[in-house]
Chains A and B, each alone.
Chain A
Amino acid sequence: MSSTTTTPTALSQAGSVTGSVGRTLERAERKRPSLLRTYRKTFVPGGILLVFALTAIFAPWIAPYDPNALDMLNMLGDASWAHPFGTDQLGRDQLSRILYGGRVTLALSVVATIGTVVIGLLVGILAGYFGGRVDATISTILTVLLSLPSLLLTLAILGILGPSTSTLLVALIGAGWVGQARIFRAAILSLREQLYIDAAVSLGASSRRIVLRHLIPNLLTTVVVIATLDLGANILTVTSLSFLGLGVQPPTADWGTMLNDARQYFGQYPLLVIVPGACITLVALASNLLGDAIRDLVDVGHRG
């Protein structure tokens, strides 16, 4: 209450002392919101992802037990001080399995995301920058592949190669790059029209230089947004395929296989289902929110 009454007088005093300089500064301040305000929407989802990433990386140091250690005296134990998330049907500590499982789930999703983005970017650049017959061929292939649900491609690849962790990655990347390639191709087509690209071309810059120094740096924000949103989608696909037994194979812990293990017991022991599912939801939600927040930031930047 007291601050609201003192602020106007303090401001007017400052104004009379520093004159127009103070006012200009004040205006500049209002025009450009602080970094904290600009990025505030990224803090919570970014923080959630960071915590999950750290627990995954440091799982061997944090986890209280070996994730695959059996304890036949302690099967399907409820939450306790020794086992905060209880134990599963083989007496394995759920907390340790969540930590180690996060390592597997997150690593698979991140690698799949990087793979799809890199391949999508390469194909997009090839089609969008070089145009002509290359573009026509690539665009036809993209149209064909995009007119089928991507899960169908994933399943076809899994069907040919058989289910395992490495084929899961191949299938995810093999089906995922298509959508990315189309987005990056469109982005490059519009970038190519920019004057600075014309300038670089007329200065005699090589294709390699234009792609590496002009196109890719200008695509980076798009890449970050697409990759973040894609991460959320990949977490859901990885865990659902593992849940179905088509991905990570037991006894390796992964949030999807943990839910699959819990299927027979979940009626009596809901904790076995709630914790892994909540982790998946939280990470997917955080990636979606972070991607949206970054996209909003980038859009605002373009307008301003």
Chain B
Amino acid sequence: MGSYILRRATLAIPTLIFLTLAAFILTSASRGDPAEAALRAGGSEPTPEAIAAYREKLGLNDPLVIRYGRWVINLTQGDLGTSFLSGRPVSEIIGERLGPTLRLGIVAFVVSTIVGVGLGILFGLFPNSPLDVGGRVVSLFLAAIPSFWLALILIIVISEKLKWLPVAGYGGAKYLILPTIALACGPAASLMRFTRSSVIDVWRQDFVRTARAKGLPEWRLVFRHALPNALLPILTLLGLRFGQILAGAIVIESIFSWPGLGSTLLSSISGRDLPVIGAYVLITGISFIVVNLLTDVSYAVLDPRIKLGKGVSR
């Protein structure tokens, strides 16, 4: 078991290196000479000698490898550089924006998981019933509807016409409802499809028929035999859903004026604020890697076949 976790964790190392390299390139690529820009910000026109001296002081003349090493060391100390636009430390900006994004993201993740898996089980146990057919049509549409359009329609109907909920903004639970629905629909629809087909597959297996032949009651077949086997593969999908929610959050935050990482990223891309973009890529990338590592490890803990060390190579 320990060796499996270790092997799985080493797989993440090349990705981590690539991620930090990409973020390093993003943050250190800049419009013009950063030394010149910094001196110009002081007011007067800098002399070439002053610029050269400042470059030396900033370490811009060092080879790229050394600059990358220094950047990584700064990173471990929480230094993500300085924003071009606001001149504030990037870590400070990210710190402010992380909370709202986590709040929206976690709520949407939990809601989409409960709704998607719950409906998937229900439809999978009664395949081709009117309920299942209806659910499939709805999920087909939800997979095709752009989340930002769904958000706009929700605002038109629920906020503008019915006036039940606020249009946009950040605050208590009532501000959270519409963004959560808009963000959770897509992931819930795809989770529902996977769960449904997984339940149908397991329900057809011989061991379910054997258990039924033993005379077990139907509820015991469902909860004791079918579901644990059907839900195991869904676990690995949850990590991917997390990525889908991270991506969706960018659009949804911007529509609902939610002060999270996504809306910060948008203004940074249009303002070419590369250090902030780099930090965003780094932080969401690392969290994505960690979530997937955790789901894979919990999968191994729950599935005895992986503990034996067989069939782990993917």
Contact A143 B251 (CB under 8 A): no
Q: Which of B19, B141, B144, B153 has the most CB of A within 10 A?
A: B144
Nearest CB in chain A to that of B22: its residue: A156
What is the minimal beta-carbon distance from B139 to any residue of chain A, in angstroms? 11
Give Cα A239–Cα B146 distance, bound, in whole angstroms.
Answer: 8
Number of interface residues of A (CB under 8 A): 40
Contact B269 A155 (CB under 8 A): yes
The stretch among A11-19, A127-135, A216-224, A263-271 that forms the contact with chain B is A263-271
Contact A147 B156 (CB under 8 A): no
Question: Does chain A have a CB within 8 A of B177?
Answer: no
Question: Does chain A have a CB within 8 A of B198?
Answer: no
Q: Mark A228-267, 1 if CB is under 8 A from B, else 0.
A: 0000100010011001111000000000000100110011
Contact B156 A156 (CB under 8 A): no
Contact A285 B149 (CB under 8 A): no
Contact B156 A163 (CB under 8 A): no
Residues in B with CB closer than 8 Å to A22 are none
Contact A152 B285 (CB under 8 A): yes
Give Cα A280–Cα B153 distance, bound, in whole angstroms.
Answer: 14
Residues in B with CB closer than 8 Å to A158 are 269
Question: Does chain B have a CB within 8 A of A203?
Answer: no
Residues in A with CB closer than 8 Å to B235 are none
Contact A277 B269 (CB under 8 A): no
Question: Does chain A have a CB within 8 A of B94?
Answer: no
Q: Which of B247, B254, B274 contacts A149 (CB 8 A)?
A: B247
What is the minimal beta-carbon distance from A241 to any residue of chain B, in angstroms? 9
Give Cα A156–Cα B269 distance, bound, in whole angstroms.
Answer: 9
Question: Does chain B have a CB within 8 A of A75?
Answer: no
Contact A159 B143 (CB under 8 A): no
Known contacts A140-B14, A143-B11, A281-B146; A244 and B251 CB within 8 A of each other:
yes
Contact A159 B270 (CB under 8 A): no
What is the minimal beta-carbon distance from A124 to any residue of chain B, in angstroms? 18
Contact B270 A246 (CB under 8 A): yes
Q: Which of B155, B167, B269 contacts A246 (CB 8 A)?
A: B269
Q: Mark B189-230, 1 if CB is under 8 A from A, else 0.
A: 000000000000000000000000000000000000000000
What is the minimal beta-carbon distance from A138 to any residue of chain B, in angstroms? 13
Question: Does chain A have a CB within 8 A of B129?
Answer: no
Within 8 A of A (CB), among B274-313: 274, 277-278, 280-281, 284-285, 288-289, 292
Known contacts A162-B272, A244-B254, A273-B156; A148 and B15 CB within 8 A of each other:
yes
Q: Which of A160, A263, A273, A274 has the most CB of B within 10 A?
A: A160
Q: Which of B144, B244, B274 contacts A232 (CB 8 A)?
A: B144
Give Cα A148–Cα B19 distance, bound, in whole angstroms.
Answer: 9
Residues in B with CB closer than 8 Å to A288 are 140, 143-144
Known contacts A149-B284, A152-B284, A281-B141; A159 and B26 CB within 8 A of each other:
yes
Contact A285 B269 (CB under 8 A): no
Give Cα A158–Cα B265 distance, bound, in whole angstroms.
Answer: 11
Contact A285 B247 (CB under 8 A): no
Within 8 A of B (CB), among A117-149: 140, 143-145, 147-149
Residues in A with CB closer than 8 Å to B144 are 232, 236, 281-282, 284-285, 288
Give Cα A244–Cα B253 distance, bound, in whole angstroms.
Answer: 11
Q: Which of B12, B15, B18, B149 contacts A281 (CB 8 A)?
A: B149
Q: Which of A140, A152, A282 has the most CB of B within 10 A?
A: A152
Known contacts A144-B14, A270-B156; A244 and B250 CB within 8 A of each other:
yes
Give Cα A262–Cα B274 distance, bound, in whole angstroms.
Answer: 29
Q: Which of B14, B26, B153, B156 contacts A160 (CB 8 A)?
A: B26
Give Cα A243–Cα B277 distance, bound, in whole angstroms.
Answer: 19
Nearest CB in chain B to that of A159: its residue: B277
Contact B274 A259 (CB under 8 A): no
Question: Does chain A have a CB within 8 A of B126?
Answer: no
Residues in B with CB closer than 8 Å to A274 are 153
Contact B254 A273 (CB under 8 A): no
Residues in A with CB closer than 8 Å to B270 are 163, 245-246
Question: Does chain B have a CB within 8 A of A108?
Answer: no
Known contacts A140-B14, A266-B156, A267-B156; A281 and B145 CB within 8 A of each other:
yes
Question: Does chain B have a CB within 8 A of A289?
Answer: yes
Residues in B with CB closer than 8 Å to A239 are 146
Question: Does chain A have a CB within 8 A of B148?
Answer: yes
Contact B152 A156 (CB under 8 A): no
Contact A144 B148 (CB under 8 A): no
Q: Which of A149, A156, A243, A284 contacts B243 (CB 8 A)?
A: A149
Known contacts A152-B284, A273-B152; A243 and B251 CB within 8 A of each other:
yes
Give Cα A175–Cα B243 distance, bound, in whole angstroms.
Answer: 15
Q: Which of A140, A145, A232, A277 has the most CB of B within 10 A?
A: A277
Residues in B with CB closer than 8 Å to A232 are 144
Known: A147-B288, A156-B277, A159-B278. 15 other contacts (CB 8 A): A148-B289, A151-B247, A155-B277, A156-B26, A159-B269, A159-B281, A160-B25, A236-B146, A240-B146, A240-B148, A266-B156, A277-B145, A285-B143, A285-B144, A289-B140
Sort A-B residue pairs by CB-CB distance and give the 6 closest, nearest first: A277-B149, A149-B243, A285-B144, A159-B277, A284-B144, A151-B247
Contacts from B to A (Cβ < 8 Å): 11-12, 14-15, 18-19, 22, 25-26, 29, 140-141, 143-149, 152-153, 155-156, 160, 167, 243-244, 246-247, 250-251, 254-255, 265-266, 268-270, 272, 274, 277-278, 280-281, 284-285, 288-289, 292
